[in-house]
Amino acid sequence: MFYFTMGLGVFLVILGLLKRNQEVEARLLGKDSFYPKPLAESKEPSIGSIQEEDFMDLEDRMETLEKTLFDQLMSWEEEKQMLLQQLDRDKVNTEEKEEQRLEEVEVEPVKEKKPMPDHIRVILDYEREGFSVEEIAKKAGINKGEVLLLKNLSKHYKE
């Protein structure tokens, strides 16, 4: 099937070339082909005038499209400027609102530290006396890790 289609295509191309060759020879051998008719005598519009009309029509279309595009770009630019102005206004309003909120927020008083429990105070007293963590653990009857934990917790209490 493929070869048949390819052969048919080649045959039609050759046939088209032969037909065109015959048309060119007929035009060259005919009397009228060397002497073009004046535009006033011919009743058919010439190819040149049709092409010029098409060209003029295309130019008009291009001008119309350019105007439309320019108008659209201008409207987008105006819309962009309007949105930027609105964004700036919103930003200023937001900043003012934030400042008002900050002014409205009262400064919370700093919470005072709680008094230190006795069992933590005992461990700190042993430490001030120069005992090591292991000695403090033996005297208090707790593990070494608990002593370290209580030392760290003592920072959150006032002495």
DSSP for 96-130, please give it.
HHHHHHHHHSPPPPPPPPEEPPHHHHHHHHHHHTT
d(CA 76, CA 43): 51
- The per-residue pLDDT for 124 is 87
Kindly compute the dihedral angle of the four CA atoms of residues 78, 79, 85, 90, in this order, to the nearest 10 degrees. Answer: 170
d(CA 146, CA 148): 5
d(CA 128, CA 151): 12
How does residue 68 score in pLDDT terms, banded at 50, 70 and 90? very high
Considering only 35-49, 56-70, 113-127, 144-158, which range has the smallest mean pLDDT?
35-49
Q: Which percentage of the chain shows pLDDT scores above 90?
A: 36
Partners of 158 in the beta sheet? 115
- The per-residue pLDDT for 63 is 94
- The per-residue pLDDT for 45 is 56
- The per-residue pLDDT for 106 is 64
CA distances (Å), origin 32, targets 14, 28, 38, 43, 119: 28, 9, 12, 15, 128
How many CA atoms are closer than 13 Å to the CA of 136, on its beta-carbon side? 23
Q: Convert the pLDDT of each residue in 7-46 to its tens digit.
A: 999 999 999 999 998 888 887 776 555 555 555 555 555 5
